[in-house]
Structure formats: structure tokens, C-alpha cells
Amino acid sequence: MNVGEVSAWAAENLKDQGVVVARDYKFMCSSLGQELIQKDIKEQGLTRVVVAACSPHLHEATFRNACSRAGVNPYLFEMTNIREQDSWVTTDKEEATKKAKALVAAAVGRVAYQKPLESLLVPIDPNVLVVGGGIAGIQASLEIANSGQHVYLVEREPSIGGHMAQFDKTFPTLDCSACILTPKMFDVGNHKNITMLTWSEVEKVEGYIGNFTVTIRKRARDIDEELCTGCGVCWEKCPKKVLDNVFEAGMGNRKAVYVPFPQAVPKYPVIDRENCTYYLKGTCKACEKFCPTGAIKFNQEDQILTVKVGNIILATGYDLFDSHRITQYGYGRLANVFTSLEFERMSNSAGPTGGKIVQRDGKTAPKVVGIVHCTGSRDKNYHEYCSAICCMQSLKFAHLVKEKTGAEVYEFYIDMRTPAKTYEEFYHRLLEEGTHFVRGKVAEISDAVRLPGEEGKLIIQVEDTLTGNQLRVPVDMAILSAGLESRHDAKIVARKFGISCSADSWFIERHPKLDPVATMTDGVFVAGACQGPKDIPNSVAQGAAAAARVLSIIGQGEIEIEAATAIVDEVTCVGCKQCIASCPYQAIQYLEDKGKAYVQEALCKGCGTCVGTCLPKSISLKHFTDEQIVAEMIGAMKVMKSFELMEVA
Amino acid sequence: MSDRLTSLHEAIEKVLPDLDGVLALKSGPGGIVSPYLFSKEHPEELAKLAIWPKEPVPDTLKIILRAHPDAKLAIVCRGCEERGIVEMFKHAQLGLDNLTLIGLQCEKDEAEFCRCAKPFTVHAKTIVGQPIEGVADPLTEQVSALSQPEKLAFWKQEFEHCIKCYGCRNICPQCFCNICALEDEKWVETGRLPMAKPSMYHLVRAMHMTAKCVACRECEETCPADIPMAVHFRLIARDVKEMFNYETGADMEQKPPQLLVLEEGEYDRTGLPH
Amino acid sequence: MIKYENVLTTCPYCGTGCALHLQVLDNTLVGVLPAKNHIISNGGLCIKGWNAHAFVNHPDRLNKPLIRKNGKLKEATWDEALKLVADKLGAIKTESGPDSVAFLSSAKCTNEENYLMQKFARAVIGTNNVDHCARL
Amino acid sequence: MMHEPKIIGFLCNWCSYRGADSAGMARLKYPPNIKIIRVPCSGRISPELVLRTFREGADAVMVLGCHIGDCHYSTGNHRTAKRMPVLKKLLEYTGIESERLYINWVSAAEGEKFATVIKDFTEKISALPPFVETMK
């Protein structure tokens, strides 16, 4: 494109639009370029500035600041994109020049209607809400609490700990998961700056960065936390055994009054009303009778708490892919097909088998074990994404099986992904340990015998893609390395906190590379697997990162919020309430006394959906008013039409 | 006096003593009918009660209620007028607590005049006349069956006759804004006749009628150029029903769909790309 | 007592003679409704008829004659105003002859008013220069 | 009859505008007919804005936003998805080629999709007569 021509054209043809000076300078964003603008503002008394250059996403802030330094309100600056959206995408140089003229005319048309705006400053409440007490939430809470700020940690389950508390060993170091986790859990439970709210859920979030009001439902435990010492007599005496589908992944039992696992924090049990004999039949109360401190309180009521916080960290974790969905893998139908979580519990010495790896009958040790990677991941029928942890987890399983049973182990993988420090070394260790690696996606697991030697076995049907051979591998036990998926209620949670979900319902970060723990909603951060599949080290890193982001905001004391908000013209507003219903942020109120709508500036994010809705156009969006957009459009149209006329002539 | 008029007379007489007024139609000089607020002070005026031609009574109701928000009134309304009142309620333009609806059911010739699909009330507790089934709208079918160029030719010709009297806007029970986009130079070329080519007057108005038009056809009736603009509104209403399951005047709680988030399955019905 | 009624009248703007209702709420004019079963306008109005109520109570409406004195308009009595018009018309007629004056009447006026206008032009001033807005 | 169509694109700031930037960064080529106007959210685009753009002589209008579920403002684009199909229908009922109004979702990462969409759309609109001509 001929930028010089565009500049000269603008000086000549846009004079009547108010253009006083037009310059062509190659490095406008450099400090010299900025000084050039500032000099022109001062010498020529400019009140508006347009820069035609790269994308405003790159340098709008640069030029806004430059204008501001020269005394021109930053909102009186307009940037038009003649690089990414013109010269780089247009083949014909002359056409690109013409397009640039139209874009410059549009920006000049628009800038005349722009109005100075001032950003609003709001104070930051230093308290922080952390949602989810898994390892990411624990890390975030501790970082913040250690800095001296107060944290409300809300956890849905009776204890914090999350998935990590269920695991046996952690890859690749084979540390005992509980051994490294429980000290941190203990710290959280005893921290003077942490209010731990387990068996609780966030009901409602109102407000905006610095000033959230959060309503939390603390479900009735039926336990008086003041009196309970966590001695365990109640669950010893409780006569009702319940299959534990949550912590033990259906591999073991708990009682109707229970703590999910021995190291649970807090130590108080909960009474599971759905299974408690007293709640079902009206009699029993064994726990109450034997409790030495009289801490059992039947028919307790849920408590509704309201807390004020300035920032929120969501660390709500993941759900395990439901392996039942892949019917050809036979989970639930074939006894000796296990999920990864079942295996974790089985391998855990505190688990239902006391750490013995045995078949479903509870006693037979397997001689051959097959581990199926990518169950529900990297599969267009289920989840297209890679669950990130399965390869390493499967390698860990292979090692544990080998170590504990001496069985032959087959790993069926699509690709081996070990991209982190010492992960690849772990893979090599497994290769050396004699694990068989078969590259291929398992087609089917069945008990249908076709060949001799398959009797009583599970047969894993797979194409070895390295040799091109179809294999039938008879095994005693198959472990499905199930993928991670977003929480079943992730969308509801996202809506509650005003953030977005991807198509797979993972929470969306503000920027995938440069802002991985912030969200598009100011003051709401994400950490751990709720943002996408990740392993423990990454979850911990994100927990700490989110805490750092929050602390940096708290440190600022107050924060600037978007100036381009919506505003209602009270004279013309007819009070029809349509904008109120259309606002994604509940930022618009109805003033009963006046019968008019009113925008709460601090809540408004400036999307303008209300403006698109308002029929009399009584509501407008600052910096994106109808006048501004129409002027921009007319600016571009006029130039396009004039070129058309020239061509006809 | 027809049966319906007699019954209506009785129905009004029954409620009149307890109210600040009953809004109905009154026959004036030369038999010309207009809305009138009958009062308990002058029950004899009911002798001049009329039912046809129908008038935009919801609009009149709004005028009265804006000045007297706490008035206890009854209104004689046909199906379309009831829908108009419900939509005004949903747009916070009037309250229903102090309002009694007397539902006047249309007869076949009236329904045919209006090409009305729903010539009956659904919310009114007091009913006058027998509800009848809706009738076909041959004009809407006829226009929608035209080919694309035929449609354009049809509407260009119709719009060419427009004298921009704004009567369609003025008489519409759903046009209650304090200012109007149609009077804004940004959206419509104001103060110029004949209409610009292209002019967006009728299209802007049609968009504003989305999920709002109650199919009373008052606009068509008052149009000095006889532009059948309700055809547009009705075709769109059909789409809004199909895409978002929304019908004006039906459910008091249901909000207009274009304000709300997509419900399960709605996106697939919009015809937008995946 | 709330009083709402419609007063049937004829549109004052042109010679077509559209009927319209003036909407009167508590003795105040609040709007216009077209008259549906009227033989002339058949429920329609033009933009002027639709706004026929707007000038009645408009604060800018002139209620009294104004006479410009020293470049400023000042309120005057009808006698003063009429005398001024009569004097000026007389002077113009004397100075430049009767055909130097033209009379423009309006379709908005009644037949009687229009009759008076042409009679005044012909009999008093002595000119046939009479026209009206409907020819514009 | 082929001509150079005038196209205005309203693009949301967070996804589609960045998608257009991505196309540029990848140096993907597409016709210069489209002039992009940046808005915060596709939900900001009122039907009036689209209609005004047509009145101004545009041959086509594009409204591009974030994919449903990915809206920067959570659900702003839901309103786009409900408003714009109705406007398309209205164009169709009026006999205006409804393809002149184009709605699609382009994410910040979909530079390639953006370039393809613009290429195909410009070609399609070139085959239609100029909008203003059809309205005469």
C-alpha cells in the first residue's frame, strides 16, 4: 500500500471533516512517533487524533497514553487497522491503498463524535473467595492467607483435598500423594486467615471486582462443630454401610455418618441424610447415643452466609470421563475392566483392598494387565482434546502393577506424550522395566473367546499401527485411563460467576498464553483443571499464579473500571424494562419511583447488548454510540461510493 | 340491539358501580364510534354503547392510566386488544391489579375483516359472545407465496404510496415510547416525501414489531395508503413462534425472546451456521 | 371522577375535510384519533391531522397580535393591530394602486371566511389578485 | 452481472476482530471490499444499524461475533443469534436477498476461517445486482 498517498489524500479530502494535519511516519508507535503526535497536538491545538496503523489490539493503549500526556483525553483518540486488516491481506497494492482511504475516512468520521470519558476508581475489598478445595484451591488459599489477607475457601465435599487425596502415588516421582498433600490440608485447616467452608456451595454472586457479595449455603452436617472432637466413635458405631461412590470410586464402603478419608480436613463428619437410618425410618440415633461430647445434632438446618470479597478464584476441578459411555470397552459389563480412579483407590494402601492389586473377585492377582490410554480423550465421539495426564498416569499404573504383582503389562497408546521435566525419563524407566507398548487405539475389550488361550480372559482388540498387525491381547485386568472432563455443572457455575466456558465447558482464560489465570470478568480468576486438563504441578502453579494476580490487585488498593459503559437517557426512557432483561450482567436496575432504567456503572462491562435492544434508543454505550458507529460507517461508504463513481466516469 | 351488545351492556352494568370507569366504545354524532370511559355517575350513557368498528382501546387505556395510575377500571377488549394490554403490561406500561378485562369475542365477519387467527380473549374472566376459531389470512399467504423479485416489486409499490403520516406508529398499542426511532434521522430520512429509495421506515418499524405485534391490524386500517404492513409483522410473528416459541399476549410471564439467552435447541431453529 | 371522551371534529389543515376525534382527558386535549367509519377519511389521517392537537396548548402559540417596534416584537391589542394593517394597506393602495396588493386565502378557512376575503379584495381594495394555498 | 460490492462488516472486538487480525498475521489474502467496523460485542448491533448501512448504499452487511458459548460478555451474542435471524427473514419477506445480511461466528484463532468467509461472501455478493439499483 502507498501510505504516503493515503496521508496526502486525507489531508486534502478530509479537510472538511476536520483534518488539520496528516502525516506519514513509519514507526508511529516508537517514542519518536509518539512525540510527533504530541508535538502536533500542542502546536496545532488538535482536539482529536486518528492513527492508521496496526491493530488497535497492539497499540491502542500506546497512542491513548501518548494523547493523554499531551492533554487530549484518551477517548478522543481513534485507531484504524490498515495493516492486519488491509495491507497484509490485500493482494493488489492500489486496492489496498483505496481500502486504507476508506478506513481512514471512517475513523475520521467517527472521531469527531467521540467524547472524553473518565474511568471510575473503586476500592478493593482485600478478602478473597476461593471456590474448590483441591490442590489448586489449597495452594491459592495458602499463598493469599500467608500474605496476611483473609480467604474464604468453599468446598462442596465434606473435606478439602480434592482428587489428589484419592490418588496413591504421584507421577513421575512416585511420592505418596497423601503424604505431600495432607500437610497442606492441615495448614489450611489451621490457618488464622482462612475461613474454611466445607460441605458448602456458592449460591449467588453479586457485584464486581473489588466489591463482590457472595451468598454461600453451608449445608447442615448434623454435627455441632464446636463440640465434635473428630474421635470417630460415631462412624464406628453407625450400623449403616453405604457404598462410597465418591471418594472410594465405588470400590469400598463408608458409613452413613462419615468423614471421606482418615486425614480429612476438617475432622468433623457429616451425616448422609439420604442413607441414615434415622432419617429413613425415624429410629436409630446410635451415633448420638455414643458420641462422648453430644455433638450429634439431628435436623440441623442449612446456614446461608453472606461474605464480601474483592476477588474470586475458581478452582473447581474436573470430573472423570464416564467410561460406561464407551460400551465397546465393557466397563460395568465386564468385571475386570477398571477405571483409572478405581485403580488409584485399589493401589492405595489406605484403600478398599489395602493396596493389593487384585481382580474384581477381591483376591486373584492379575498375571497380565492391559492399560488403555485415551479413554474418552482424543476421540471425536467423546472429547477431541488430549486430557494431558493420562499418558503419565498410565505409565505410573504400569509401574505400580509391575512392582506389586509382577504381572505383564501392556500399554495401548495413540501417541506417548511426556512433555515435562523428568517425564520422558520416567517413560524410559518403564521401557526398561519391560512394559509392552502397543501403539494403537483399542477397538474393543471383550470376553468372547475366539482363539485358544483366551478362555477366562479379557481380550483387547487393537491394531498395532507400527507393524500394521491386528492384535488380540488376552489380559486378566484392563485399566481404562479415563480422560478428564469439565465438571457436569461447569456451565451453571460459569454463569453464576459471570465467566465463559469453551465448547467443552472448560472455563475460558483471558488470554491462552499471556493471561492464563485471569478471566474476561475482572476480579474472577481460574486455577487448576477447571480451566482445562492439567496435572498436579501445573495446578499448583496456577493456584499460586492466581493468588499472585489477586494479591497484586489487592496491593493496588483501588482499581480503574471500564469507562465505556452504557448510560440511560432518563428523559426519553419509557421504562419498558427490556434492557434489564437483556443485560448479561444484571447491571441495569429499574428505578421504581421514576419508572426508568438505570445502569450501575461499576457492574456494566460495556457490551452494548442493551443498546441493541432498546427501541427508542434511550440507552447508549459510551464510546460506541449510534452516532459514532453510523459516522464511521458513512465515512467508509462515502469513499467506497466515490471510487465507484470514478470508475464509472 | 344484537345479543352481543345486550350481553355487553349487562356485563358493564354489573361492574360499573364498583369502578372508576369502564372503557368501551360509544356511538357519537353521525354514528361515528370512538372510545369512551363510561362512569357510574352517568349509567344512562350506556344506551350509546357500541362494539364496531373496533378502536385502539389499549392505547386509550394507557393514556388514562398514565394520568391516573391507581384508577380502578374495566376495559372491554377483543382478543387482539387483550393481547395488546398483556404486552403493555409485560413492558411495564400499565398494571393489571386494578384492571378488569371484559372479553368481547369477535364474530366471523369481524375476524375475516381483520384476517385474524385468534379472534378471542384468553385471560379475561368475563366473556361476552361466543369464542370462534381463527380465520385464514389469505393476503399474507398470497404475499409470502410470491417469488423474491415479485415480493420486492410488491413492497416497492406499496411503500411508494406511503405519505409518512406515522399513523401506523401512532395508532399502534405497542408503540408507547417517548421518542421514536422512526423520527431519528439516523434510521429514517425524516421530513422528506416521497420516501427515499431505499427507505428503511417500514423495515425499522417491522423490526420494532418483532415479538410485539399483537395482530390487531389497526395500522393497516388507519393507513391512508392502504399498505398491508401487518403482512410483514405476521410473517415475522410466525418465525418468532417457530424459532423461539413466543406468542404475544399469551403468557403473562414470558419475556420477549430476543432479550434472553438461547434455550436448548433454539439455535438450531435460527438457521444460523454451525 | 375521571372523564375521558372523544370530540368529533374536522381537521383544520386542508380542504379534504378529514374527520378526527380530539381525545379529551379531564377536560384537557391530549391527542387525536382518526374517525373510523367516517365517509371522507375512513379512519385515516395525514401527519398534520395526526398532530392537529399539538398546537392548541403549545407554549409557542400566539394568542395576541404582536407589532414590531424598534426592531422588537411587542404585544398589542386587536384594535391597534387592525388599525396598523388597515393604514398600511390603504397607504400601499394609494401609493402604488390596488393591483400592488395580493390576497392569499386558505383551504383551512371556512367557505364564509374565504367569501369575505375575496369580497374584501375586490370591493374594498379593488383587485382580482386572489389566490389560495390549495393551488400551491 | 459482476460488480465490486460495498460490504460493511460489524465485528466484535474480542473474537472476530482478532480473527481478522489473525488472518492478517498469517498473510491470508481476501478481497478488499469489506470495511470492518469494530464493536464491543455483536450484541451491540441493532437492526437499525444494519438497515441504516443498507440505506447508505452497502450491498451487504456482515455481523461476526464470538462462537456461542465463547462470548466475551458471556451471552451478548445469544441476543445476536436471536435478533439477526429475524432481520434476515424480514429482508426475505420484503424481497431483498436475505444473503445480503451475513451472520457467523469467528474466533480469535480462526484467521483462516475469516479469510475464507470473506472470500466466499464477497464472491457471492458480486453476483447480485447492486443493492441500491434493486431498490430504485
> Does D132 touch chain A if contact means CB atoms closer than 8 Å?
no
CB–CB of D79 and A103 under 8 A?
Answer: no
C46 occurs within a structural domain? yes
Residues of chain A with pLDDT under 50: none
Question: What number of other Cβ atoms are within 10 A of residue D5's Cβ?
Answer: 24
ipTM here: 0.93
Residues C45 and C80 in one domain: no
Q: Are residue B114 and residue B11 in the same domain, yes or no?
A: yes
In a domain, residue B19? The reply is: yes
Angle at A340 between CA A338 and CA A345, to 5 degrees: 90
Grid cell in block for residue B143: 404475499
Residue in chain A lying closest to D47 (CA) = A612
- Whole-angstrom distance, CA of residue A209 vs CA of residue A143: 20
| Co-location of B22 and B95 in the same domain | yes
pLDDT tens figures, D30-64: 999 999 999 999 999 999 999 999 999 999 999 99
Chain C interface disruption, residue of B19, B34, B192, most C CBs within 10 A: B34
Please report the residues numbered 584 through 643 in chain A whose beta carbons come closer than 8 angstroms to any beta carbon of chain B: 584, 590, 595, 613, 615-618, 626-627, 630
Residue B2, pLDDT above cutoff 80:
no
B212-245: pLDDT as tens digits: 999 999 999 999 999 999 999 999 999 999 999 9
| Dist CA B273 CA D45 (whole Å) | 18
pLDDT tens track for B60-78 = 999 999 999 999 999 999 9
> Residue A548, Cβ neighbours under 10 Å: how many?
16
Asked whether residue D109 is assigned to any structural domain, the reply reads yes
**Which of A130, A133, A80 has the alpha carbon at shortest distance from A107?**
A80
B124 and B170 share one domain: no
Q: How far apart are CA A67 and CA A237, in angstroms?
A: 75
A307 close to A212: Cβ distance less than 8 angstroms: no
- B124-134 pLDDT, tens digit each: 999 999 999 99
In a domain, C58, yes or no: no
Q: Evaluate whether residue C82 is within a structural domain.
A: yes
Residue at A391: amino acid letter: C
Pair C80, C67 in one domain: yes
**Residues for chain A: how many in total?**
649
Tell me if B222 and C43 make a contact (CB, 8 A cut-off). Answer: yes
C107, C89: one domain: no
Q: Strand A128-131: give its sheet, edge to edge.
A: A194-197, A151-154, A128-131, A311-314, A524-526
Quick check: is D60 in a domain? Answer: yes
Q: Which of A83, A105, A78, A134 is nearest to A13 (CA)?
A: A105
The reply to whether D2 falls in a domain is: no
Same domain, residue pair B115 and B143: no
Q: Are residues C9 and C34 in the same domain?
A: yes
Is the Cβ pair C34, B163 closer than 8 Å?
A: no
Positions of chain C with pLDDT lower than 50, given as ranges: none
Q: Domain check: are B83 and B147 in the same one?
A: no
User: Is position B168 within any domain?
Assistant: yes
From the list D29, D32, D37, the residue facing A99 with the nearest CB is D32
* DSSP H helix total and E strand total for chain C: 3, 7
Same domain, B116 and B11: yes
Q: Does C10 touch chain B (CB under 8 A)?
A: no
Residue with cell 448434623: A222
* C-alpha span between B136 and A236 (Å, rounded): 75
Task: Kindly determine whether residue B273 and residue D78, on different chains, have CB atoms separated by under 8 Å.
Answer: no
CA distances from B189 to A7, A218, B194, B197 (A): 33, 60, 10, 10
What pLDDT does residue C135 have?
A: 64
Residue C43 falls in which region: left (phi positive, over 0), alpha (psi -120 to 50) or beta:
left
Q: Enumerate residues 26 to 85 of chain D having a beta carbon within 8 A of any beta carbon in chain B.
A: 47-48, 51-52, 54-55, 68, 75, 78-79, 81-85
Instruction: Check which CATH number belongs to the domain holding C44 and give it.
Output: 2.20.25.90
Domain with C71 in it:
63-96
- The CA distances from residue C94 to A3, A95, A469, C89, C130, in Å, are 73, 73, 123, 9, 19
pLDDT at residue A28, as a whole number: 94
Residue type, D100: R
In this prediction, residue D2 carries a pLDDT of 65
Q: Can you point out the beta strands (E) in A146-219?
A: 151-154, 169-170, 175-176, 194-197, 200-208, 211-218
The rounded distance, in Å, linking the Cα atoms of B160 and D98 is: 21
Dmax (CA) for chain C in angstroms is 62
Domain count, chain D: 1
**Number of structural domains chain B divides into:** 2
Q: Quick one: average pLDDT of D15-36?
A: 95
Angle at A583 between CA A524 and CA A621, to 5 degrees: 95
Partner-chain contact B35 C33, CB within 8 Å: yes
More confidently predicted of B170 and A504: B170
- Inform me whether the C-beta atom of residue C37 falls under 8 Å from chain B C-beta atoms: yes
pLDDT at B9: 96
Q: Which chain A residues are within 8 Å of B258, Cβ to Cβ?
A: 582, 613
Residues in chain D: 136
Joined grid coordinates for residue B262: 438461547
Does B1 score more than 70 pLDDT? no
Can you tell me the distance from the alpha carbon of B64 to that of A604, in angstroms, rounded to the nearest whole number? 36
Cα–Cα dist A255/A272, whole Å = 8
Does any CB of chain B come closer than 8 Å to the CB of residue A503? no
Chain A contact for D115 (CB, 8 A cutoff): yes
Q: Which residue has cell 469400598?
A: A252
DSSP tag of A85: I
CA–CA separation, B207 vs A61, rounded Å?
37
Cβ contact, residue pair A627, B186, below 8 Å: yes
Domain encompassing residue D113: 7-134
Tell me if C57 is assigned to some domain.
no
pLDDT over 60 at D135, yes or no: yes
pLDDT of residue A649: 63
Closest to B71 (Cα-Cα) out of B94, B102, B105, B42: B94
Among chain B residues, the shortest Cα distance to D102 is held by: B272
On average, the pLDDT of chain D sits at 94
Residue D1, pLDDT above cutoff 60 = no
pLDDT digits (tens, 9 = 90+) for B20-45: 999 999 999 999 999 999 999 999 99
Residue D1 in any domain: the answer is no
Q: Give this prediction's pTM.
A: 0.76
Closest residue in C to B72 (Cα–Cα): C2
Closest alpha carbon within chain A to B91: A576
Residues B58 and B110 both lie in one domain: yes
Q: Are residues B145 and B89 in the same domain?
A: no
Nearest residue to D9 via CA among A106, A56, A79, A96: A106
The answer to whether C27 faces chain B, any CB pair under 8 Å, is: no
Q: Which of residues 88-127 of D touch B (CB under 8 A)?
A: 88-97, 103-105
Higher pLDDT, B2 or A507: A507
The verdict on a CB contact (< 8 Å) between B259 and A613 is: yes
Q: Give yes or no: residues B177 and B69 share one domain.
A: no
Grid cell 410485539 in the structure block, residue: B212
Checking DSSP bridges between strand A477-482 and strand A337-339, what pairing results, if any?
A: parallel
Print the domain residue range for B59. 3-128
SS3 assignment, position C74: strand
Count structural domains, chain C. Answer: 3
- Euclidean distance between CA atoms A648 and B10, whole angstroms: 74
CA-based torsion, A12, A18, A20, A22: positive or negative: negative
CATH number at residue D46: 3.40.50
A558: which 3 cell numbers? 483501588
User: In chain A, which among 223-282 make CB contacts under 8 A with chain B?
Assistant: none
